[in-house]
Amino acid sequence: MDLTADVITWVFIVVIMLAMCGAALVAVTQFGVDFREDRLLLIGVMCVPGVIGSLLGYWISGYRVKNDF
């Protein structure tokens, strides 16, 4: 059975990507996080919106059976 993503799923993917980039930008510009010295901190900051968005996307969005006629 072939599945395809709902529109809401694609919206969540885009929102999660933008939120992760925004979190990294805020961490670097506002809090002085350095790319070379604070890599793990930066990865952790980017994971927060990724995990929250993924959980919300899992509960709200979904997939449907793809109809190829």
In angstroms, the CA 4 to CA 36 distance is 39
Residue 57: which pLDDT band, with cuts at 50, 70 and 90? confident
pLDDT tens column, 15-55: 999 999 999 999 999 988 888 888 899 889 999 999 999 89
Residue 68: which pLDDT band, with cuts at 50, 70 and 90? low
The identity of residue 16, as a single letter, is I
Residues ≥6 apart with Cβ < 8 Å to 20:
46, 49, 50
Residue 65: which pLDDT band, with cuts at 50, 70 and 90? confident
In angstroms, the CA 54 to CA 6 distance is 15
